[in-house]
Amino acid sequence: MQAIIYTEARNKLNKLIDKVHENSEPYLIVGTKGRKDAILISKEEYDNLIENLYILSNPKWVKSIEQGLDDFKRGKTKKLTIKEALGI
């Protein structure tokens, strides 16, 4: 993660936002003059984090994912085509 001082981030906000989207890498904005630090991430990355937190907060889903991974490791899975997976 790259870091940038608040004043520089403010002055280069458009370019900084573009970099965050292009590289999918967050920026640490280091607060100055009593300001708190902050992280700048893309909306796509934010949405992914929220979705992952939502899934991981549901014990039934976590158990189902773990079971699927266990089945995969034991060779109990079958490779499907996209049409088969979608029931087309």
CATH number at residue 28: 3.40.1620.10
Query: Does pTM surpass 0.75?
Result: no
Tell me what percent of the chain is helix, strand and coil, each rounded to the nearest 5.
60, 10, 30
**Taking residues 33-48, what's their average pLDDT?**
94
pLDDT band at 21 (very low <50, low <70, confident <90, very high): very high
Other Cβ atoms less than 10 A from the Cβ of 28: the count is 15
Of 83, 19, 16, 70, nearest to 6 (Cα)?
Answer: 16
User: Residues of the chain with pLDDT > 90: what percent?
Assistant: 77
pLDDT band at 33 (very low <50, low <70, confident <90, very high): confident
Question: In the chain, how many domains are there?
Answer: 1
Of 49, 54, 55, nearest to 68 (Cα)?
Answer: 55
Write the pLDDT tens digit of every residue in 57-69.
999 999 999 999 9
Burial class (CB in 10 A: 0-12, 13-18, 19+), 52: exposed
Q: Is the pLDDT of residue 78 over 90?
A: no
In terms of residue numbers, what domain contains 28? 2-86
The pLDDT assigned to 10 comes to 94
